[in-house]
Amino acid sequence: MIVPLTEATPEQAGGKAAVLGPLLRAGFPVPAGFVVPVEVYRAVTRRLDLPAVLSEHGPAEVRRLISSQPLPSDVLDEVEAALEGLGSHAFAVRSSASNEDTATASAAGQHDSFLAVGRAGVAACVSAVWASLWSDRAIAYRSTGLPEMAVLVQQHVDADVAGVVFTGTPTVIEASWGLGESVVRGHVTPDTFKTTRSEVLSRRLGTKQTRLDGRTPTEVPSADRDRLCLSDSQLLRLTQLAADVADHLGAPQDIEFALSNDQLWLLQSRPITAPLPTSDHTSEMPGLRGTGGSAGVASGTARVVRGPADFGRVVPGDILVCRFTDPAWTPLFGVVAGVVTETGGLLSHAAIVAREHRIPAVLGVPHATTTLHDGQPLTLNGTTGTVQPLTY
C-alpha cells in the first residue's frame, strides 16, 4: 500500500511526489521518503459521503470529519515500518494533490504541509493534509474538478538557509535563514540574486528579521540581517543544480531548496506556470517601492487588511494592502485588482498566485500598512515595483 518515493507516479502519488521520486531515482539530492497514496484517501473518504456533508454543512464540517479519521490499521502498520526505515528524528509531512505542481497550476501554498514532525505525530498530520484539500482557500483556488490527495512523508531537513529558484536566463534565487516557509509564505523579504551557470550577476540584501527552524519563528541576529545568506560559490552550485533539474525535466522549473551543513537539498520542483515581470526598476520615492511580483498596472481603493476578520470589508476592485498574505487569503485574489505587501519576494506564494490570477502585485514595500491608508486611492505597477498613493 505505502509507495516508496522512488516509485511514485502521478496517478498514485500526486504531482509533488511524482516529480521528486524520479529526481531521487536519478541521483538528485532529494530527502528520502515514502507516499501514502491517493487510494488510501479514497478508501477513508468513500464512507463519509462528503458531497452530502458539503451540501448540508459546508467545507468546515468536511474538514472536521476527515481530520477525525484514523488511518486504517494496516496502513498505520506500514507507515510505522516506513518511518523506521527512514531513521530520522523528525519528518516533513507534505501535500501531494493531483492538481499540484502541474504545468497549468502550481497550487502554491493551497494545501497544508507540516515540518519537523515527531514520529508520534505523523499519522495525525496525514489526516490533516487530507482535510486541507477542503479548505476555503483550496476550494477557491481550483476552478473546476475535485483533486485527490496523496501525502508525502520525508526526512526533515534542518535548513541553515532555504528558498526558491526560478530557472532561466538569468536564474533568479530568493533565500533567507532557516526553513523555506519564511520565504514562500512571504514572512520575510529575502535576499535576491540573479545568476548564470558561470557568474553571479546581482545581489540584493533583504530584510530578514525572523527565521523558522521548527514551528516557532525567532529573531535573526542583527549581524545576520546585514549579510547575505548565500556565498557566491553556494549560489553557483545551486544554479548548476537547478539547471540540471530543469534539463532533466525538460522545462523551466520553480524549485524549493534547502542548505544544511553546506549540503544542498531539493525539496520541490514544478513547472513555472506564469512568467516573472521583465523589469526590476523601482521608484525613487522613499517608502513606496518594492519588488514587482506580478506584472501590470491597477488603480483602486486601498483596503488595509490585517487578518481574516477584515475580509468582509474587501470589495471588487480594491487594492489589497497587508503585511504579508497567508495562503488562507487566496479567495481575495479573485476579488481585488492588485496586491501590496510589506514583506515577501518575487518567488513567494503570494506573487506566484497573483501571477496566475493575472493581477499586479508589489511585494516588500516597507511600512505599507501604515504609509497607505484604508480608503485611499492608489495606483500600483507590478512590473516596475512602484506604488503611487493619491493624497486626500
Q: What is the pLDDT of residues 128-175, one digit of tens each?
A: 999 999 988 788 777 656 788 999 999 999 999 999 999 999 999 999
Question: Over the chain, what is the mean pLDDT?
Answer: 91
Question: What span, in angstroms and rounded, lies between the C-alpha atoms of 357 and 112?
Answer: 21
pLDDT at position 25 is 97
Question: What span, in angstroms and rounded, lies between the C-alpha atoms of 43 and 126?
Answer: 14
Confidence grade of residue 107 (pLDDT, cut at 50, 70, 90): low
pLDDT at position 381 is 94
According to DSSP, the β-strands at 361-363 and 338-341 are parallel
Mean pLDDT, residues 76-88 taken together: 94
- State which H helix or E strand residue 368 sits in: helix 368-371
Residue 373 in 3-state DSSP? Answer: coil
| Annotation says 111 is catalytic | no
Backbone angles phi, psi at 118, to 5 degrees: -70, 160
Among residues 349, 357, 367, 373, which one is catalytic? 349
Residue 144 in 3-state DSSP? Answer: coil
pLDDT at position 286 is 46
**Residue 302, C-alpha cell as written in the block:** 486601498
pLDDT at position 375 is 96
List, for residues 300-354, the tens digit of each pLDDT value. 999 999 999 999 999 999 999 999 987 778 889 999 999 999 999 999 888 888 9
Confidence grade of residue 282 (pLDDT, cut at 50, 70, 90): very low
CATH 3.30.1490.20 in the chain, residues?
3-155
**Residue 366, C-alpha cell as written in the block:** 516597507
- CATH match for 291-389 among 3.40.50.360, 3.50.30.10, 1.10.420.10, 3.40.50.1980: 3.50.30.10
CATH 3.50.30.10 in the chain, residues?
291-389
Mean pLDDT, residues 189-214 taken together: 95
Full-model pTM: 0.89
Give the side-chain half-sphere CA count within 13 A for 336. Answer: 31
- CATH match for 3-155 among 3.40.640.10, 3.90.25.10, 3.30.1490.20, 3.40.50.1370: 3.30.1490.20
pLDDT at position 391 is 65
pLDDT at position 86 is 95
Write the class of the CATH domain 161-271: alpha beta
Cβ neighbours of 350 (radius 10 Å) = 30
Provide, rounded to the nearest whole percent, the portion of the chain with pLDDT above 70: 94
pLDDT at position 23 is 98
More confident residue, 158 or 279: 158
Residue 240 in 3-state DSSP? Answer: helix
Query: How many residues appear in the chain?
Result: 392
According to DSSP, the β-strands at 3-4 and 253-260 are unpaired
CB-based contact 4:140 (threshold 8 Å): no
Mean pLDDT, residues 261-287 taken together: 77
Question: What span, in angstroms and rounded, lies between the C-alpha atoms of 103 and 199?
Answer: 29
Nearest to 78, CA basis, from 9, 1, 13: 1
Question: What span, in angstroms and rounded, lies between the C-alpha atoms of 236 and 338?
Answer: 34
Helices (H), the chain: 10-25, 38-46, 50-57, 59-67, 73-86, 122-132, 136-141, 181-184, 222-225, 232-249, 349-357, 368-371
CATH 3.30.470.20 in the chain, residues?
161-271
- Minimum mean pLDDT among 72-86, 104-118, 119-133, 309-323: which range? 104-118
Strand ranges for 286-350 from DSSP E: 291-294, 297-304, 319-322, 338-341
